[in-house]
Chain A
Amino acid sequence: MLGGYLGPTAIIAVMLVLAVRGGVLGTIVRASLLLTLPIAISVVLVSVFTRAGTTVLLQIGPFDATLEGVDFAGQTLVRLFAISLSIGLFVLTTDPRALVFDLERRGLSPRAAFVAVATIEAVPTLVERAAVIGESQRARGLDTEGSLRARLRGLLPLVGPVILGSLTDVEERSLALESRAFSRPGRRHLLWSMPDESWQRAVRWALGATLVLAIVARITGRL
């Protein structure tokens, strides 16, 4: 029974150690718990009370909570937590620009890289723009602090300039890039290269090999 917990638990332990090293432990645990909570609730309810089993722990009306159901729910939860921790660690410790530039270095098209970077960078810009627009409309008397109805009425004056401004920005940025020969075909030289030490490459290869072995073991029934 414990076999199903070992793998995910080991992954969780490694992720937590890495999160401590990366200085994101509190953030990642909070985010992972919040992300997995809604799924966890439904998984627990469905698994514990509907999964067939021989060991009945308690009965609530027509539903039996079985030991097998609890075990299945537990295994699912640790897997979910392991997955969310892994994704969270990646998101919190990877500079999106670094990721995209490195992908470009490995052959991703500059256009796709630009779309990815522009999308990532658009978020803080949009937040800043939305804040200024909010101030601007409030200065014209728009009530953004009142009732829900008043706030809904103010939606267009707030959202309109955000969208129009973003479209204008995209157009201007595209023109500026084109004027700097952005779409010129051929190989380009990146001014930045991601630090990549030999031990990091070794870890990546080891992780890749582990993944392949895990899949093979799973398929052949040894895991």
Chain B
Amino acid sequence: MTSLRLEGVGFVYPDGTRALTDVDLAIEPGERVAIVGQNGSGKSTLVRHLNGLLRPTEGRVLHDGEDVAGRRVSALAARVGIVFQNPDRQIFAGKVRDEVAFGPRILGRSAGEAQQAGLDALTAVGLAESIDANPYDLGYSRRKLLALASVLAMGTPVLVLDEPTTGQDARGIARVQQVIADVAATGRTVIAISHDMRFVAETFGRVVAMGAGRVLLDGDPAKVFAEPTWPILASTYLEPTYAARVGARLALGPTPREQDVVDALVRQGAAIDPERTILPD
């Protein structure tokens, strides 16, 4: 397992745009961390530092206490796997099985091990039956799951997901949530960038809110989505979930599920037929 630490990390793009300023972050093995913030707040830039795709212009990045400044991306990829937002920027193989075996093969697994790791990952995301399909015959949401499987198959101690729920329907989101829970259950770290606050509140144990390249909030969802922080969230164009806003009025705490809100309303005598308002888990 790998612990990650960013110490005073700052980053300025070659065109002079400052994307990160003095970011201090420590992520322990097994944590589930969501990174949220408006577009351009530095989320993607931040995670690209975790596997060396970007190198800090100030500060340093450490894996297990070791500065990774001199390490190649191809070496760091064995520790930190990143699933990018657009699957079409990644998929190249003519068959799903070859796409998922690519990463493990690069990491030095045998053909048999790579095939097995690929099959396991496809099973985890619900694509096992598509193993012989052409990736481009799959719809966008399934290609996104394939991209997730192809990195999952690498078995990296840290898994980073960039907007994993974009383009997913409720079933796809539930699948992603299950994958995250399964990965975390093995002691591996999951980090996700997301604009989907409901997904964030329900899935992650820690939320890091960013704005203008800085960490604005860092804590468990109950702390980050608590009513006193709403102005800070608003400053980075985020708003708590509908359930959180209503739940705050109903004293349900900062991260209630929508079903909790319905149940509370029913308890308080609202004119709601509970049989007709059962929401999916």
Contact status B53-A138, CB under 8 Å = yes
Answer yes or no: A104 CB below 8 A from chain B CBs. Answer: no
Contact status A138-B73, CB under 8 Å = yes
Contact status A164-B150, CB under 8 Å = no
Task: Determine the residue in chain B with the shortest Cβ distance to A153.
Answer: B106
Contact status B90-A161, CB under 8 Å = yes
Please tell me which stretch of A88-96, A141-149, A196-204, A208-216 contacts chain B, meaning at least 4 of its Cβ atoms lie within 8 angstroms of it: A141-149
Measured CB to CB, the closest approach of chain B to A190, in angstroms, equals: 32
Measured CB to CB, the closest approach of chain B to A143, in angstroms, equals: 4
Which of A135, A138, A142, A164 is in CB contact (< 8 Å) with B136?
Answer: A164
With a cutoff of 8 Å between Cβ atoms, the chain A residues found around residue B150 in the complex are 140
Contact status A142-B89, CB under 8 Å = no
Complex interface bits, A129-166 against B, C-beta within 8 A gives 1, otherwise 0? 10011011111111111100000000011101100110
Answer yes or no: A125 CB below 8 A from chain B CBs. Answer: no
Within 8 A of A (CB), among B39-83: 48, 51, 53, 72-74, 77-78, 80-82
Task: Determine the residue in chain B with the shortest Cβ distance to A131.
Answer: B89
- Count class of interface residues, chain B: 20 to 34
Given A139-B77, A140-B150, A140-B154, verify A133-B89 contact (CB < 8 Å): yes
Contact status A146-B74, CB under 8 Å = yes
Task: Determine the residue in chain B with the shortest Cβ distance to A146.
Answer: B74
Task: Determine the residue in chain A with the shortest Cβ distance to B104.
Answer: A141
The distance in angstroms between the C-alpha atoms of A135 and B55, with both chains bound, is 13
Answer yes or no: B182 CB below 8 A from chain A CBs. Answer: no
Measured CB to CB, the closest approach of chain A to B93, in angstroms, equals: 8
- Count class of interface residues, chain A: 20 to 34
Answer yes or no: B102 CB below 8 A from chain A CBs. Answer: yes
Answer yes or no: B197 CB below 8 A from chain A CBs. Answer: no
Contact status A129-B89, CB under 8 Å = yes
Given A132-B86, A141-B106, A143-B74, verify A156-B81 contact (CB < 8 Å): no
Answer yes or no: A168 CB below 8 A from chain B CBs. Answer: yes
With a cutoff of 8 Å between Cβ atoms, the chain A residues found around residue B51 in the complex are 139
Contact status A139-B92, CB under 8 Å = no
With a cutoff of 8 Å between Cβ atoms, the chain B residues found around residue A144 in the complex are 74
7 shortest interchain CB distances as A-B pairs: A160-B92, A141-B106, A141-B77, A143-B74, A139-B82, A136-B90, A140-B103
20 A-B pairs with CB atoms under 8 Å apart are A129-B89, A135-B48, A136-B82, A136-B90, A139-B53, A139-B73, A140-B77, A140-B90, A140-B106, A140-B154, A141-B78, A141-B106, A142-B106, A143-B106, A144-B74, A145-B72, A146-B72, A158-B92, A161-B92, A164-B136
